[in-house]
Structure formats: structure tokens, C-alpha cells
Amino acid sequence: MLILSIRKYSSQLVLLLAGVLLIAAISCGGSDGDDDSAAAATSTSAPAATAKPEATAKPEATLKPGTNPISATATAAPVATKADVAEPELLKRGGVLKYGADPNNNHVFFQQYTPGAGAFWAMTVGDPLMAYGADSEWLKEKSMAVSFDVSSDAQTLTFKLREGVKMHDGTDYNAAVQKFSLDWVLDPDNTAVTRPQIATIDKVTVIDEFTIELHISRVYTPILSALGMMGGMPFSPTAWEEQGADGFKQNGAPSNGPFRVKEWIQGTRTTFEAHPDYWNEGKPYLDGWIWEEIGDSQVRGAALTTGAIDLAQIPPSDTDTVAALRAGDAHPFVNFAGVRISHHNAARAPFDDKRVRIAAQMALDRQAWNDVLLGGEGHTYMGSVLPPTSGFAFEVDEYPYEYNPEKARELLEEYAAEKGLTLPLTTMSAFTCSAAQAEAGCVDLVEQPISIVTTSSAENVKRAEFEAAYFNAVGFEVTMDLGSGNEAPRTFVSKDASFSLRGFGVRPHPSGSFDSYMGVGGYWNNGGWSTAPKQLELQAILEAAAATYDYSEQVQLYKDAQELYMLEALGGVKSANNPTFWFSNSNVKWEGWPNDKAVMFPSDSSMKVYNMWLDN
């Protein structure tokens, strides 16, 4: 029957078979190289090698390498020198590195990106006024400032700028360019996303061609490191006149970094090419690099395995891909730049009672949290509210409020008995603002269910469900409020969240995170309405830390603040520091290889692509 049928329809079958064979032939035809396909699909022609101009006088920073600028106030005349990094023996030049990441680039104007979203590529495009390395040390190889001075009232900062720097559009970098960029960012009408980073600057003055003076509205020493973020990166005023912000969003803002935007195709890729006149002679080693937007992390893993890309970003929640790549030849880069914490609403009962906050601490099994949600790759240490990379981390040998559900329940029972309640605790009390608070925008609230608030992302929902189960097990009754957490100001100012799951990445300087966690406008304080004595004490420490240029004193003050927060105030349940993963294939090398810390900016988890090269 089958033979008869085949005979009858032989011509159609032959056509069908021919089609299948054609597909197979075409599939195999171009498969002589693992990365051919994607390369053809994604690569761009590398720019031809450009002769570097003779080294011009390059001023040297007046501080020794590794010296923290916060403690440095002395200045000296700039000295002409080249970059102080010796060229590695096995260095190879040329090639285009491909980095697979989430579709993230909605445009390519770095002044309109938050640090987490745009830092990776922005740090390859611009060299900011100041730049910082792994231990909050001044990274001169990325800084436009070669020295700086601080006035006696600590509110005027004078920077000597690097000379001989060319912008991507061929114009010269100088104090006027830096001022133009800073003024643009600071102008509220421009609604620059980076403005908050440097908002304490109230005046920028050009002293001479390579000297600029910044006046800050209050003594706020973290401004130095804030200038190491995108807000401190210059862009060409000439290009601005021609293109404006909308043009920059499509073409990239010509800046002064080792790479410049060559092409942006939304949802597909952003191509960067080496800046031919980059001031740091010899850098970058690559002809260019490509930000390939690959939406699925498993596909990114597969692309890395096949060699279609050289670097892949893998979220910690994709534990399978992380495990598979770890088991293979890929080189892992791990940075613990994120903090996961569930803030309490300390302004309202029952969380205004320390016993209840301790119970919440003891309710959560952090090891299980780490194992289930991060595949065991997170850090569950409890001492610090900051990642361990910055030198500001506070550690305790033994955390007094580790997982102990029995004790947690005892505390809640004690609290409930005292208040005439029965477990589970289901509601938060009503809140009445004082007259002063009301004048400042505080709104009275009625009694509300105890809720856990977070965004609607799958990762956060899973996390919320996990934590709610543990809180409920000891005597809370937590309702889920998913999707509301995107609007932090609304959630916290209106104080209607009981537990709010937050994730934080840190900045070059941790002050921003400290303020968010613990300051009067911070999260646990729910808009600043808490009257807890510890809140005021914390605020005083934070203000003192932000007002000193003495680095060691500042570190100690921030550690004191963390200790107070984690052991006494207990503003939230920290679960773990989550890792950020990159994997590279064996083709990727860098200065200091194979030490991955040597090529990362741990503060924002971006990479020094200008120090990387491809082996083949």
C-alpha cells in the first residue's frame, strides 16, 4: 500500500524531499566555523587600524595609585607621562568582541541611563571626571581629573584636567566641555536621568582651559565618586548643537572614552568602534565591540558555547545555565553587586516594635533562600547591607538573629499577648501624621492588611512567595501585593507596604545605598515618617559620614551605621547578596588574566573592555 502510494505521488514526494535536502544543504553549507553564522549576522567591519598620534603631554595624577581621593586634598603641578600600565606580553590587538546581554538599549545617550542599565557600555564610551576601581581607589586610567583641591569649607572642589584629550568627534576636551556637560545634566529642564548623581553641585566655573571649579550646596564628600558615574562624563558641545538629545539617543553622544558608538539598531545590537585618537595611548586593544541583545539567557549560554559571542551575561536566577557553563570551559566572572532586602514599614505597628522586627529576621532561612532562589551562588552573610567589594562592608562573626522559627514565634506571641492580639498578625495599624508631618506631605492611613510588595517580575514574585511562606510560618499573615513595587515613591511615601522586597545595586561610592536603606528618606523609614529614636541616630551618622573627607573616618562611620541598622534598628530582612554573572569563552583575555577582578568595575558590575583582547 505504502509503495503504491509513494509511486502514485512520487513527483510530489520528490519535490518535498528536494526541499528538505535543500534546507539541509544550506544549513551545512555555511557551517565551517562555529561563529560564522552569528558573525555574519552580527559583526560589523572592524575599523582599520589608525595610527596613533604622538603622545602629547599627559598630566599625571598627584596621588599615588590606590590612594583614595576622599582623603586626598593636596595638589601639585601635573607631570607629563603616559599611562602607567605595562603592556602584557601576550597581548593581541584587533578583533571585535561580542557581548551577549539582555535587550536593554532603548537608545544610546548615556546621560539618560540609570547606572544599572547603561553602565556596562557607558563606561567604555566615556571617561568621567573622576573614576574609581575595585576598592574605591582613584582609577587614574579612566579619570579626566589629574588632581584636585578642596576648599577650607569643603564645598568648593577645584580639578586640574587632563590635557591632550580628543573627543570622539575630533574636538578638544577642556574645562569648557566639562562644564557644558555638567551644566546640561544639572539643568532640571533637561530631565537627565543622571542628574541625581551630581545634584549637590550648584555651580560650575571654568578657571582656565584645564581647570574647573565645582561648588556643592552642602558638604557632601561622596560627590567625588558620584562624578565617576555617567553624570560626570563629558560630551561634545559641538555635537550637541548639531544633534541635540534626540540625535544623541540615536547616534550616541560623542564623548572621550576608548570606544565610540558606531551603530545602534534597537533590539538587535549596538556596535562600538575604537576611538582612533584615544588619549590613553595603546588603548583599547580591540578594534571594537558589540553589545548583542539576546533576550533569553539560555540562548546566550548556547551562543557562548558555540563561540558566536565572547562574553555572556547570565542572571543568577537562571541556575541551570550558570551550572552548565560552570561545568564547561567558560570562564566565570562573579560580582556580588546586588543586595536583596525586604524592608519593614517601621512607621506602623506591629513593625514599630523591635521584637516583631527581630521575629521577621529569625523567620527567614537564608541558606534555603540562597539554595532555592540563587542555586547556592549568593552570599548569605548578614553583617553588611552592602556588597563586599567596596571596603565599606561591615561584618559580624555570628549574626544574632539567624534562622530560628521557634524563637521568632515566641517573640510574636509575647508581642501579641501584650497588645491583646492573637496570632497570626494580620494587619498594620492606622497611621496618623503629626501636624508637622502633615505639612510635609504625610497622609493619614487606615488599618491595612500586612502585605508583601514587589514588582511583577517572575524572579521577584518567586522571591515574595518564598519569603511570605516563611513569615507566615512564624505567625504573620502576609497578603501578596505583586506589581506595585515598581513605584517606590508611591509605595513608601504612602506607607502602605508592610514588607517591600527590594534589590539594590551599588554605586562607585556606597553613600547612595546607605541613604536609600537608612536615611530619613530611606525605605525602612517609609518616607521619613518614622519617629523611632534609632532612625534619628542613623541619620546623624550618615550625615557625618557624608561630611568628612577623611577616608578612614568615613569608612568607620558607614560601618557604624550598618552595625546600628543590622543589629539594633533592624529596618529590613536581608536575605542575600546576589551574584552577577558573566562568562567568557577562552578567546577572551585581559590585563591581569585570569583574575576577573582585574577587569571589572565591581561598583557597577561593568567591565574594562579597553583592557581586553581576543586571543584568536
Partner 1 sequence: MTRYLLSRLGQSIVVFLIVSVVVFFAVRTVPQDPIYALVGEDAEGYTPAQIETIREEFGLNRPLPVQYMSWVGDALKGDWGLSFQNKLPVIDLIKKRIPFTLTLAVGAMAISIVFGISTGVIAALTRNSKWDMMATGSAMFAVAVPEFWLALMMILFFGVTLGILPVYGAVLIWDDPIEGFRLLIMPAFALGIGGAATLMRQSRSSMLETMGEDYIRTARSKGVKEKTVIIVHALRNSLLPVVTILGLRIGRVLGGAVVIETMFSWPGLGQLAVSSLQKADYPVIMAIVMFSSAAVIIANFVTDIAYSYIDPRIRYA
Q: Given the rule CB under 8 A, which residues bind partner 1? A: 1-2, 5, 8-9, 12-13, 16, 19, 23, 26-31, 34, 36-38, 40-42, 103, 106-107, 114, 188, 191, 193, 195-197, 199, 245-246, 249-250, 265-268, 292-296, 298-299, 302-303, 305-306, 308, 455-456, 483-489, 512, 516
Which residue's CB is nearer to partner 1, number 122 or number 303?
Answer: 303
State in angstroms the smallest separation of the CB of 38 from partner 1.
Answer: 5
State in angstroms the smallest separation of the CB of 514 from partner 1.
Answer: 13
State in angstroms the smallest separation of the CB of 416 from partner 1.
Answer: 33
State in angstroms the smallest separation of the CB of 308 from partner 1.
Answer: 6
∠ Cα 157 163 167 (to 5°)? 100
| Cβ-based neighbours of 406, under 8 Å, separated by 6 or more | none
State in angstroms the smallest separation of the CB of 153 from partner 1.
Answer: 23
Which residue's CB is nearer to partner 1, number 31 or number 45?
Answer: 31
244 burial via Cβ count (<10 Å: 0-12, 13-18, 19+): exposed
State in angstroms the smallest separation of the CB of 289 from partner 1.
Answer: 16
The pairing of beta strand 211-216 with beta strand 156-161: antiparallel
**The three grid cell numbers given for residue 57, joined into one nine-digit string:** 603631554
Q: Give counts: helices (H), strands (E), the chain.
A: 18, 20
Q: How far apart are CA 237 and CA 234, in angstroms?
A: 9
- From 356, 334, 337, 331, select the one nearest 346 (Cα to Cα): 356
The pairing of beta strand 311-314 with beta strand 96-101: parallel
Which residue's CB is nearer to partner 1, number 2 or number 435?
Answer: 2
- From 471, 498, 501, select the one nearest 486 (Cα to Cα): 501
Whether the CA torsion 196, 199, 204, 210 is positive or negative: it is: negative
CA dist list (Å): 108 to 120, 476, 482: 12, 46, 31
Which residue's CB is nearer to partner 1, number 153 or number 189?
Answer: 189
Residue position matching grid coordinates 557597577: 604
Which residue's CB is nearer to partner 1, number 119 or number 349?
Answer: 119
State in angstroms the smallest separation of the CB of 164 from partner 1.
Answer: 34
Which residue's CB is nearer to partner 1, number 21 or number 40?
Answer: 40
Which residue's CB is nearer to partner 1, number 190 or number 367?
Answer: 190
Q: How far apart are the first and last CA of the chain?
A: 57
State in angstroms the smallest separation of the CB of 404 from partner 1.
Answer: 32
State in angstroms the smallest separation of the CB of 516 from partner 1.
Answer: 7
Task: Rounding to the nearest 10 degrees, give the CA dihedral for residues 546, 551, 556, 559.
Answer: 60
39 burial via Cβ count (<10 Å: 0-12, 13-18, 19+): middle
- From 263, 235, 124, select the one nearest 169 (Cα to Cα): 235
Which residue's CB is nearer to partner 1, number 34 or number 208?
Answer: 34
Which residue's CB is nearer to partner 1, number 248 or number 351?
Answer: 248
State in angstroms the smallest separation of the CB of 193 from partner 1.
Answer: 6
Q: How far apart are CA 359 and CA 616, in angstroms?
A: 56
Which residue's CB is nearer to partner 1, number 143 or number 511?
Answer: 511
| Cβ-based neighbours of 466, under 8 Å, separated by 6 or more | 369, 372, 373
